[in-house]
Amino acid sequence: MTAKVNDGCISCGACVAACPEVFRFNDDGLAEAYAAVAPEYEKPALEARDGCPVAVIDIEE
């Protein structure tokens, strides 16, 4: 699976807190997906997507 944080991130950190193995803050202070979603991180990555208050995370298989 791959994750992507689209334009519109508000730097709330919900995704980073939910799944730091996939999401982190970039130099601009916005969240980014920096790693593929390994099988063991699928559930927290999906929780990060579902918990995003501005719905800017896409996850594809």
CA–CA separation, 25 and 56 (whole Å): 14
Residue 27 corresponds to which tokens in the numbers above?
A: 């130099």
pTM: 0.94
Interstrand relation of 57-60 and 23-25 (parallel, antiparallel or unpaired): unpaired
Q: Encode the chain (61 residues) as per-residue pLDDT tens digits.
A: 999 999 999 999 999 999 999 999 999 999 999 999 999 999 999 999 999 999 999 999 8
CA–CA separation, 41 and 38 (whole Å): 5
From residue 25, give the alpha-carbon distance in Å to each of 12, 16, 22, 39, 61.
10, 7, 11, 22, 23
